[in-house]
Amino acid sequence: MLFPRFAVIAATAIGFAGSAKAAPVTAASLAVRATLCASPSGDAGTYSQPCDTYAQTINCPNGIRNATAGVVLLVHGTGSTGPETWDNGPYIQLLPNAGPGFDVCKITLPGRSLGDVQTTSEYVAFAIQQLAAQSQTGKVGIVSHSQGGLNVQWALDFWPSYRPLVSAFVALAGDFHGTGEGPPACLVLDATTGGCDPSVIQQSVGSNFLNALNSRGGVALVPTTSIYTIFDDVIQPELIPATTLLSGATNVRLQDYCGPGYLVDHFVIPFASFAYAVAVDALTRQSTAQPDSVPKTSCAWLLDDVLLNNFRRGPTILREAVTDASAVITGPKVLEEPPLKPYVCARGDATTGCA
Ligand SMILES: *[C@@H]1O[C@H](CO)[C@@H](O)[C@H](O)[C@H]1NC(C)=O
C-alpha cells in the first residue's frame, strides 16, 4: 500500500544523491555547476545545488496571499515528509486563519531527511530567505518537528545574514543536543542493513555534527520557543537534562502547564493542542511565546468533531510513515558519520571530522 509513495521518494533520493557523484564533464554539467545557488557574501554556509532544486521543495497550499502576520515555514523531521507531518494537523488546517492570519508553507526535505543534515539544512536556509522575501512582514515564522529544529539551527548558524529574517522559531521536540537513542538504533541497522542513515548518526550524542553546531549554535540565534514533552519516545533524555533545552530560548515543558497526565509523545506533539496554542502565541507576537499567558483550556482541543477526529488520526499516520521509512532503504546507508563540510572547518567550528 505504501509502496508507490516510497518509489517516488526513493527515486527523488537517488536523483539527489546521484548529482553529487562523479559524472562525465560536459558543457551541460559545467553549466549546472555554474548556476549553483549563491550564499550572501560573508556567510560561511555554501549551497551545493542550483536554487531551483531548493525552490521545488517548498509548497504553500493556499499560495502566499499577503497575510497580515506573514509567512510561516513548516519543517518536518527524520523519516517523514512535509505532508505526512503537517497535513492532518493544526498547522495546515487551523494556522492560516489563526490570530491575525498567516500564509503557511511546508518544505519536503530530500530523502525523507535521512541523509546528511548539512545538506538538508541547505534547503531550509534557502526557504528562509525565499519566503521572507515574499512575506507581508518581510520575515518568516518557523515551526519545526524533531530533526527539523536542528536543520533550522544549522541554517541560522552558518547563514547568519538570514537571522534577521526570522521573526519567531518554534521547535517541537527538537533534539538540539542530540539523542541517546541514535547509537543503539544504528547498531541494529548496521547488523541488518549494512549501515545507518547519515542523519541518525549525526543526531547521536557526541557526533561531529552536533559538536560543530554547538560550538556556536548551541544557543538561541533568533527568538526561539522550544516545546517538549517528558513522554517523548524517540529523543532522549527529555528529563534531566532535556536535549530540547536551548539556552536563550523560551523552553516549554508541556506537562508543566497541562499536568503530569498530558500524554503527548514524539509523534503526537505536532498535533497537541497546548503546543499549538503556544506556537500561535509566539508566531503572533513575532517573538518568543509567553506560555503563562496561554489559557489552560488550550490543554484540550475544543473543536468540532471533524477536526478533532482528523487530528486524532494524524499521529498514527505520521508514526507509520516514519517506521516504514526506517524499514525501507530510502537512501544510502553508511557506517561512519558524513564528513563535515569544508565551510564548517574553515570557519573554525570543528577540527575533527572534517572533509
Ligand atoms: C501581495 O502584495 C504584492 C506586493 O504588494 C502584490 O504584488 C501581490 O499582488 C499581492 N498578492 C495578493 C495575493 O494579494
Q: How far is the CA of 284 from the centre of ligand 1 (A)?
A: 21
Q: How far is the CA of 127 from the centre of ligand 1 (A)?
A: 19
Check whether 20 has a pLDDT greater than 70: no
Convert the pLDDT of each residue in 243-254 to its tens digit: 889 999 999 999
Check whether 14 has a pLDDT greater than 60: no
Ligand 1 atom closest to residue 65's alpha carbon, by position in its atom list: 13
Q: How far is the CA of 72 from the centre of ligand 1 (A)?
A: 17
Distance from C-alpha of 294 to C-alpha of 290, rounded to nearest angstrom: 7
Sequence-distant (6+) residues with CB within 8 A of 271 are 88, 89, 90, 311, 312, 314, 315
Ligand 1 atom closest to residue 63's alpha carbon, by position in its atom list: 13
Q: How far is the CA of 65 from the centre of ligand 1 (A)?
A: 7
The pLDDT of residue 7 = 30
Ligand 1 atom closest to residue 66's alpha carbon, by position in its atom list: 1
The pLDDT of residue 13 = 33
Which residues sit with their C-beta closer than 6 Å to ligand 1?
A: 65-66
Tell me which residue has cell 549551497.
47
CB 227 within 8 A of CB 291: no
Convert the pLDDT of each residue in 261-300 to its tens digit: 998 989 999 999 999 999 999 999 999 999 999 999 999 8
96 burial level (CB within 10 Å; 0-12, 13-18, 19+):
middle
Reading across the β-sheet that carries 250-253, which strands appear in turn?
58-59, 103-107, 71-75, 140-145, 166-172, 224-228, 250-253
213 Rama sector, left if φ>0, alpha if ψ -120 to 50, beta otherwise: alpha
Distance from C-alpha of 311 to C-alpha of 313, rounded to nearest angstrom: 5
Give the number of residues written for the chain: 355
Q: How far is the CA of 98 from the centre of ligand 1 (A)?
A: 20
The pLDDT of residue 325 = 77
Residue nearest to atom 12 of ligand 1 (CA): 65
Q: How far is the CA of 142 from the centre of ligand 1 (A)?
A: 22
pLDDT band at 188 (very low <50, low <70, confident <90, very high): low
Residue nearest to atom 5 of ligand 1 (CA): 66
Convert the pLDDT of each residue in 289-339 to its tens digit: 999 999 999 998 866 666 676 788 888 888 888 887 766 656 677 888 999
Residue nearest to atom 14 of ligand 1 (CA): 65
Neighbours of 307 (CB within 10 A): 14
The pLDDT of residue 244 = 86
Written in H, E and C, the secondary structure of 4-51 is HHHHHHHHHHHHHHHCCCCCCCCHHHHHHHHCECCCCCCCCCCCCCEH
Which of 145, 73, 154 has the alpha carbon at shortest distance from 117?
154
Q: How far is the CA of 165 from the centre of ligand 1 (A)?
A: 19
The amino acid occupying position 275 is A
Per-residue pLDDT, averaged over 8-22, amounts to 34
| CA terminus-to-terminus distance, the chain | 40
The pLDDT of residue 355 = 85
Bigger pLDDT: 204 vs 57: 57
All cell numbers assigned to 100: 491575525
The pLDDT of residue 25 = 60
Q: How far is the CA of 63 from the centre of ligand 1 (A)?
A: 11
Longest CA pairwise span in the chain (Å)? 63
Check whether 238 has a pLDDT greater than 70: no
Q: Hey, which of 62, 66, 68 would you mutate to test ligand 1's pocket, going by the most ligand atoms within 8 Å of its Cβ?
A: 66
Residue nearest to atom 13 of ligand 1 (CA): 65
Per-residue pLDDT, averaged over 40-69, amounts to 97
Residue nearest to atom 1 of ligand 1 (CA): 66
Check whether 127 has a pLDDT greater than 70: yes
pLDDT band at 1 (very low <50, low <70, confident <90, very high): very low
Tell me which residue has cell 563540510.
341
pTM of the predicted model as reported, rounded to 2 decimal places: 0.88
